[in-house]
Structures are given as structure tokens and as C-alpha cells.
Amino acid sequence: MGRGAACPFCCVRRYTCALRVAAARKKNMDLMEKLVSLCKRRGYVFPSSEIYGGLNGCWDYGPLGVELKRNIKKAWWDDMISHHDETSAPSSAPGSFGMVGLDCSILMNPTVWQASGHVGGFNDPMVDCRETKSRYRADQLVVYRLLAADSVPAPLADEELLYAAPGEVGKTAEADLIEPHRKRAESLRKKLGELRLEPVVGALSDASLRARVLAPGAKAPGSLTAPRAFNLMFKTNVGAMEDNASIAYLRPETAQGIFVNFKSVCDTARVRIPFGIGQIGKAFRNEINPRNFTFRSREFEQMEIEFFCRPEEADDWYRYWRDRRFQWYVNLGLSTDRLHLREHDRDELAHYASGCADVEYAFPFGLSELEGIANRTDFDLRQHMDVSGKDLRYFDDQEPDADKRRYLPYVIEPSAGADRAALAFLCEAYCEDEVGGEARTVLKLHPRLAPIKVAVFPLVKKDGMPERALSLYRGLRTQFHAFYDEKGAIGRRYRRQDEAGTPFCVTVDGQTADDGTVTLRERDSCEQQRLPVDAIAGFLAERMA
Ligand code: GAP
């Protein structure tokens, strides 16, 4: 590319623009590659069944990964449910409320999914490329035309080619949309001069327009099929017979298990509205295009709350949960620069929802949803009441007005993904810096989330140091996930723990025998301090809070 030439796709001088976009994209993708590689190398995440070539959209958490994910789920469960005090209103809550948990089966009576609308409506539009054999979600393909930058909008010219590229209008950088068609764009630029890109909305549903669309990697236009609805639920059969009567589904969300147990919880748990029911568990979706590491998987875990309240109070509770859930990520270390709360426009809302916001995180591959918080009105309970014929209305025996005693509550649903949260915490934590002139990779995970909380080392393997270090390690292990290591130079042992995300290392050295103190090193600052051996457990407990 000639220095100083104009960029074919915008008005910025070409070399500046292309370099800037390419550099930013490369930096982000490099970060993602490095993170995926660290996850594999250090035992965070492995491709599922890798020795047989893996299974697309499925991942296994290794020894460190499982601890990270368990810590995320524990933090969620503790903060949302078990440590919740129902006797007083948390600051900024409209009032006090109760919280209980559930653990429902993954397989349920299939009528659940008819009532919820998943059998009829849990579809993504899918298109196939007959030439490259690739499959895309139609709503994640942008179709566009390339026009001279100074041209006025005009009808499509005869034989004009359209281009399709993975992405989303308004979200994906133009340079990325151009990338699969760069060569053609270059030759067009030679004819027309500077170019601009104009999205053609609805092109895939229109047969004549679709015939002009060049798919990514395809040589000729017209290779994409019309969009077809593709149901994302995994089907299976329960029992020995494989017929229609035995069909069951792997749940695509944990929420419905909560709705169908609403009455049982009300009857047994002495809960009063407002209250929430939380659940953590696996969910399965036959995603058309699993991608971005664990971000879009076919098997994943959700952490969902269905919060039941009086309809007239639902807006206040919606705002409370939206803001509280956003803050939860901040408290656990995600920076507010990378977090974004996106309130949905009215026309984006599901037909039953009266409010919805996404907590989004700036992943290296773009700003994407971590969690959704929705006001689902009384839609789900009403559906299950209508289809099951069971009265799911709540009875408030303390309501003085008899007409208001029995009603269907509204539901506020904060719905998070444990795997997406794990990925966001890993992306945020990944850091390369220099210590004492030496490069290091460090995972700056919040101490509550770090898989190993403390590593204990003897400085050298002699003079009673291993014995003292082992005794400290054995004492700490009963309270914290601790790790003992006596092999290699002390600097290398620190580096290994930095990369694993261990926030504290404690070293027993020659001075320990004299005055009973040890060196405590903090991962992020690398600062060291001497503390009495007996003070270590208290120090750690304080820092884990
Ligand atoms: N009950 C509402 C519900 O399931 P959703 O937006 O489809 O809403 C909620 O899913 C959360 O579950 C998402 O914000 C995301 O964190 C997680 N999630 C959904 N699909 C996922 C997938 N294919 N892979 C990983 N996580 C996913």
C-alpha cells in the first residue's frame, strides 16, 4: 500500500487509517490468542474431548479453570442468596426482600417448553453457503454494497454485486466487513476512487437480491440459501422408546425450572413477595455458530434469578436489579471503562417484556453481552398457569384489600452466564508487565475469584525451611486453596504463580527460625512485607472478604 494514499473505505488518509484499524484489531486478537494459549498451558480451559478432535462449542475447565468457575458461582450464590439479609433493605433497594435457591432437573416434562414458547419460537435464522459449505446466523451477516465515496444514494445498478460478511450493522468495523472481499474492493477502488460501504438490509430474505450476494470466501454470487428457522433446543428421548411420546429437551435456560416450581416454593419456604429464587446450572443450545472461545458455547452454565414482585412495584425492582448486577461485576474487578449498561430500545423488547438491559463487556473481539436483566411481566407464570391448568397466583393473606389478595406477580430476571463471566474476568485480568527488568505474564484476578489463594515456599530446601513451610501450608489449606512448591529458583516460583493468578505468595526463609516471621509477596505490586507466621491466615481472610 502506497504511503499517503487515501483509504478505499473512508476519507482518512489510507495508510493512517488502515494501520490504525489493523493495529487495533491485531492487538485485540493477539490478546485473545495469548489468553487462549495461557488457558491451555496453565490448565484453565481445554477443548472438550480434544484427543478425538474436540467438539465445536464445548469446553472443559481444567484444574485452575474449575476453581475459577466455582469461585464465580460461589461469589454469585453468596452475594445474591446465602448472605442476603431479608430483614433489612439493602441500600438503594425499594424495600427488604427474601432470596432462596433451587436446583432443578435439566430434563423436564416437554410441555414446559411448549408453554414457555421455546418449542415454537426459540429459533435463530440460519443460512448456508452452498459453495464454501459454511453456515451462518442470518442476523450475524451484514450485506452491503460498495459505492463511490461521493456518490448519492441510488437504486441498485443492473448486475451490481452485493457483499456479505460476518458482523453486525453499527457494531462491526467497516475494515472487518471489507476484509473477506478486500481484493474485489481494491479493484473497484481503482475504477471508482474512494469507496463507502452501504448496508443493504433484508437482502438475504429477497431472492433476487440474494442472487447478487457474494458470500465470504465464495467465488460466485448467489451461493447463500434463504434464511431458515433453526430451533436451538437439543432433543433427546427419555426411556427405551424413540418416538414422539418420548421426546424431551435439554433445557436451554434454567429460568423455566424456577417458574414451574413457583407454587411449591411459595407453599413450603415461607417466602413472601417480594422475593427471588436463584438457580445455577447447565443450559444447552445448539448454536449455529459457536465462537469466540467460550463466549458462545453449546453447553454452558447460567446463574439466573427470577424475582417476584407486585406488578405496580416492578419498575422500581427492575432498576434496582439492573444497577445491582452491574455493580457486582465492578466489585469483582471488571473496570467500568470496559463495562457498559445498554438499555434496550422499546422496539427491541420481547413482546412480553416491559424493560430490558444488557450488561456488556468490551471483550477483545468486541462489546458483547455478559448478562441480561429483564422485566418479564407476568408472562411466564401466566403461560404455565394457562397450559397446566394449575392456579399459580400468589395469595397475600396480610393484604387488607380482599380484591388485591390473589394475583400473578411480575418477574424481574437477572440472567447471567458463568462461562461468559469467567471469560470476562480472565480478559480483564490478563496483563503483561516487567518486574526487575524481566517480562512477566500475570493474571490479576480478584482474590475472591483466584483459583489458588496462597502459595507457600521454602526459600531453599535446607535448614528446616521445608518443614516450617509445610507446617504453614497444612494449616492454611484447611481454610484456603493453598499450594506448596519447593522446586526451582524462588523468582521462577513467583512467576508461575503470577501466571496462575495466585494473589499471595508466602516464603519461609532463614529469618523465620529466628523471629517467626515470613515474607508475604503481593502478586500485582510485587511488594513484599514481613509478617508473623500466625498473622498470615488472618491477613488472607481479610483480603478475601
Ligand atoms: N432466561 C433468559 C435467558 O436465558 P439469554 O440472554 O438467552 O436469556 C442469559 O441468556 C445469559 O446466558 C447471557 O447473558 C449469557 O451470559 C449466557 N448465555 C446465553 N447463551 C450462551 C451461550 N451460547 N454460551 C455461553 N453463554 C450463554
- Taking alpha carbons only, the member of 108, 75, 386, 121 closest to residue 251 is 108
Predicted local confidence at residue 40, as pLDDT: 95
Cis amide linkage into residue 47, ω under 30° from 0: no
Atom of ligand 1 nearest to the CA of 421: 16
Atom of ligand 1 nearest to the CA of 285: 23
The verdict on the CB of residue 417 being under 6 Å from ligand 1 is yes
Predicted local confidence at residue 22, as pLDDT: 55
The verdict on the CB of residue 124 being under 6 Å from ligand 1 is no
The verdict on the CB of residue 287 being under 6 Å from ligand 1 is yes
Task: Take atom 19 of ligand 1 and give the residue whose Cα is closest.
Answer: 417
Cell numbers describing residue 470? 509445610
Residue 136, CA distances (Å) to 123, 187, 224, 274 in order: 13, 27, 10, 42
What Rg do the C-alpha atoms of the chain give, in angstroms?
A: 28
Predicted local confidence at residue 2, as pLDDT: 33
Which residues have a Cβ under 8 Å from the Cβ of 294 and sit 6 or more positions away? 45, 59, 300, 419, 420, 422, 423
How many A from CA of 129 to the centre of ligand 1? 27
How many whole angstroms separate alpha carbon 497 and alpha carbon 505? 8
What are the residue ranges of helices labelled H in 416-509?
A: 418-429, 465-477, 490-500
Contact 332, 75 (CB under 8 A): yes
Task: Take atom 17 of ligand 1 and give the residue whose Cα is closest.
Answer: 417
Cell numbers describing residue 346? 422499546
The residue to mutate among 61, 420, 425, having the most atoms of ligand 1 within 8 angstroms of its beta carbon, is 420
The verdict on the CB of residue 297 being under 6 Å from ligand 1 is yes
Predicted local confidence at residue 351, as pLDDT: 87
Cell numbers describing residue 354? 416491559
The verdict on the CB of residue 216 being under 6 Å from ligand 1 is no
Q: Which residue has the cell 429459533?
A: 123
The verdict on the CB of residue 285 being under 6 Å from ligand 1 is yes
Atom of ligand 1 nearest to the CA of 359: 14
Q: Averaged in consecutive runs of 10 residues, what is the pLDDT profile of the chain (545 residues)?
A: 37 44 68 94 96 97 98 98 96 96 98 96 93 94 94 85 92 90 93 92 95 96 96 95 93 98 96 97 95 96 98 97 98 97 92 94 94 98 97 94 94 98 98 91 97 98 96 97 96 96 98 97 96 97 90
Predicted local confidence at residue 4, as pLDDT: 36
Predicted local confidence at residue 154, as pLDDT: 84
The verdict on the CB of residue 254 being under 6 Å from ligand 1 is no
Output the pTM of the full model.
Answer: 0.90
Beta pairing partners, 417: 302
